Amino acid sequence: MNLRAWFQRHSLKLLAIRDTPEAIAGGVAIGIFFGFTPLFGLKTLSAMVFAWLTGSNILAAVIATTLHDIILPFMPVIYLAEYRLGYWFLNAQWPVSARPNWPPHAWRNWTTFVTVGKPLLVGSALCGAPVAGLFFLVTRRIVARHQRKKLARQMGGEGDDTNPT
């Protein structure tokens, strides 16, 4: 997969959306934020609902959520870092081991969600929020510049159409 071509194709989709730069940037930030969460199967739906609730662009949120598909091979490392950060934030100490000493099939128990899921969700929020904020600022600037250039081209091109030949 050509990373540059994928990014260019998806960024052009974002620039083609007809909405305010703030709404598009808000959708991108929401999609990036939910891309960091370990909510498998619910990331896109959560991003869509939150974008709708905040008045952000839903399509931009969906496109940005899929941006995490690029870094999918690195997600175990990212989730481990998020778990450690969340564990430290909740317990004021670093976890002793990255891998808990669980008996077989412990992952099926609801208490596992509390012991591992809670620090992972907190860590994903702590990691995702600053990255989402950065993406909001960058996206808003890029979209606003693109829309200004597009408007200038349209205004400049209208004068040429008035002279029939």
Number of DSSP helices (H) and strands (E) in the chain, helices first: 7, 0
Look at residue 1 and give its three-state secondary structure: coil
In a domain, 78, yes or no: yes
In a domain, 53, yes or no: yes
Domain span at 133: 3-151
In a domain, 159, yes or no: no
> Distance between CA 24 and CA 138 in Å, rounded?
11
Does this model's pTM top 0.85? My answer is: no
Each residue's pLDDT, cut to its tens digit, for the chain (165 residues) gives: 576 776 677 677 777 788 899 999 999 999 999 999 988 779 999 999 999 999 999 999 998 998 877 777 888 888 888 988 998 998 888 777 655 555 666 666 666 667 778 888 999 999 999 999 999 999 999 999 988 988 888 888 665 544 444
In a domain, 163, yes or no: no
In a domain, 95, yes or no: yes
> Distance between CA 98 and CA 147 in Å, rounded?
47
In a domain, 165, yes or no: no
Q: How many domains does the chain have?
A: 1
In a domain, 130, yes or no: yes
Contact 127, 20 (CB under 8 A): no
Query: Which of 134, 152, 107, 127 has the alpha carbon at shortest distance from 36?
Result: 127
Q: What is the DSSP letter of 72?
A: G
In a domain, 164, yes or no: no
